[in-house]
Amino acid sequence: MHGEYKVPGGKLVVADVDVVDGLLRNPRISGDFFLEPDEALERIDRILDGLPAGLDAKAIGARVEAGLPRDTVMLGITSEAVGIAVRRAVTRASDWRDHDWRLIHEPPQEPALHMALDQVLAEEVGSGRRPPTLRVWEWASPAVVIGSFQSLRNEVDAEAAERHGVNVVRRISGGGAMFIEPGNTITYSLYAPETLVAGMSFAESYAFLDDWVLGALGELGIRAWYQPLNDITSDQGKIAGAAQKRLAAGAVLHHVTMAYDIDAEKMLQVLRIGREKISDKGIASAVKRVDPLRRQTGLAREDIIDRMIQHFRTRYGLADGHVTEDELRLARKYAGDKFDTPEWTARVP
């Protein structure tokens, strides 16, 4: 069994291992990481040999950590990364380049239809009727998108939203509220089979699925990193927030909204961002929570999107695609029956 794991901001860790009678046998860890002393690599293989194959990544990592000498130096690799690589081998996880990725980047659509497309396209990928897909959103109108479990009245000032012509919709994934204005954000979704994140916890998969974005931002001159659980940030402030949903159909939906040029004053009128929410960020003002990409790059929004798409294409392969008529028809039905109804939007009042 063969598994690979690229440490976010680090190096590649590769695990080749057999499973015999429920135990790991003949493990071989390799990669482009740095490890001192040389003997530590053989020590890791010995630690892994004979461990129960059902251990999760954290438990495997803990065994590795406990078994290595205290003077071991690991650069670009961690003990838990070894565990993840092993779990990806045992679960026969797929790699990015094992898939034939498609790009969808179409004209602006209304918020409720975007919510519906996320569900439809994820289900289609899970069923195998659609290849894994990267979709870049374009917005037809202002919106607040709240997480699946958020209270509508606790998160949104309904009067201010109506005054500013802001649509309020609820997505199928968890996480926090997003304030959207056409042309002021960059939103994208990844629809992938669960095999891509096999062997990873939810938290680990966030970092894994966001790693390409960090590479794209690096090419734009932004030193960005993943901030657990679901933020992408730089030394000048938060850049993006991610959310994720695993569907019973066998797909993972991972979507991200990045701030390009947020109207912070309007955002604070529409969103109820409480003191507790900003206190855990170590800041005094919610205005500082989002740092626009326009100021950090000096590039037009379209240029940033083009550069991001090209980075993904170079890194993993990406062919142009589109939403099919059947998918669009089903998404419109989902929007009318679910995402555009008060029963769904206010399901948590």
pLDDT in tens, 270-322: 999 754 455 455 445 555 556 689 999 999 999 999 999 999 999 999 999 99
Q: Which residues on neighbouring strands pair with residue 245, listed in sequence order?
A: 253
- CATH number of the domain encompassing residue 228: 3.30.930.10
What's phi and psi for 259, nearest 5 deg? Answer: -85, 120
Specify the 3-state DSSP secondary structure of 245.
strand
**Per-residue pLDDT at 290:** 67
Check: CB of residue 139 under 8 Å from CB of residue 180: yes
- Distance, in Å, from the CA atom of 204 to the CA atom of 226, rounded to the nearest integer, reads 11
Specify whether 53 is located in the same domain as 180.
Answer: no
- CATH number of the domain encompassing residue 32: 3.30.390.50
Specify whether 114 is located in the same domain as 196.
Answer: yes
What's phi and psi for 274, nearest 5 deg? Answer: -75, 165
- Distance, in Å, from the CA atom of 184 to the CA atom of 345, rounded to the nearest integer, reads 23
Specify whether 38 is located in the same domain as 122.
Answer: no
Instruction: Please give the share of the chain, as a percent, with pLDDT higher than 90.
Output: 86
Domain stops at, among 39, 58, 90: 90
Report, as an integer, the average pLDDT of 172-191: 96
Specify whether 169 is located in the same domain as 74.
Answer: no
> Which is nearest to 112 in space by CA: 344, 347, 348?
344
Q: Which residues on neighbouring strands pair with residue 247, listed in sequence order?
A: 251
**Per-residue pLDDT at 280:** 53
Neighbouring CB atoms inside 10 A of 343's CB total 8
Q: Which residues contact 178 (CB under 8 A, 6 or more apart)?
A: 143, 144, 145, 185, 187, 241, 257
Specify whether 337 is located in the same domain as 225.
Answer: yes
pLDDT, mean over the chain: 93
Per-residue pLDDT reduced to its tens digit, 100-119: 999 999 999 999 999 999 99
- Distance, in Å, from the CA atom of 329 to the CA atom of 341, rounded to the nearest integer, reads 18
One-letter identity of residue 225: W
DSSP letter (8 states) at residue 78 = -
Specify whether 144 is located in the same domain as 67.
Answer: no
Specify the 3-state DSSP secondary structure of 177.
coil
* Residue at token pair 């129960």: 52
- Distance, in Å, from the CA atom of 41 to the CA atom of 237, rounded to the nearest integer, reads 38
**Per-residue pLDDT at 264:** 87
Q: What are the helix (H) ranges across 128-263? A: 152-155, 158-163, 202-219
Domain of 86 in residue numbering reads as 2-90
Q: Which residues contact 276 (CB under 8 A, 6 or more apart)?
A: none
pLDDT higher than 50, residue 176: yes
The full DSSP string for 107-148 is: S-B-HHHHHHHHHHHHHHHHHTSS--EEEE--BSS-EEEE-T
Specify whether 104 is located in the same domain as 80.
Answer: no
> Which is nearest to 95 in space by CA: 18, 209, 201?
209
- Distance, in Å, from the CA atom of 17 to the CA atom of 35, rounded to the nearest integer, reads 20
Specify whether 275 is located in the same domain as 140.
Answer: yes
Domain stops at, among 90, 123, 154: 90
Specify whether 296 is located in the same domain as 206.
Answer: yes
Specify whether 152 is located in the same domain as 284.
Answer: yes
One-letter identity of residue 211: D
**Per-residue pLDDT at 11:** 93
Per-residue pLDDT reduced to its tens digit, 12-66: 999 999 999 999 999 999 999 999 999 999 999 999 999 999 999 999 999 999 9
Instruction: Give the total number of structural domains in the chain.
Output: 2
**Per-residue pLDDT at 291:** 65
Instruction: Please give the share of the chain, as a percent, with pLDDT higher than 70.
Output: 95
Specify whether 150 is located in the same domain as 54.
Answer: no
Report, as an integer, the average pLDDT of 184-198: 97
> Which is nearest to 29 in space by CA: 214, 51, 201?
51
Specify whether 178 is located in the same domain as 289.
Answer: yes
Q: Which residues on neighbouring strands pair with residue 146, listed in sequence order?
A: 170
Domain stops at, among 24, 55, 90: 90
Q: Which residues on neighbouring strands pair with residue 31, listed in sequence order?
A: 13
Report, as an integer, the average pLDDT of 148-174: 97
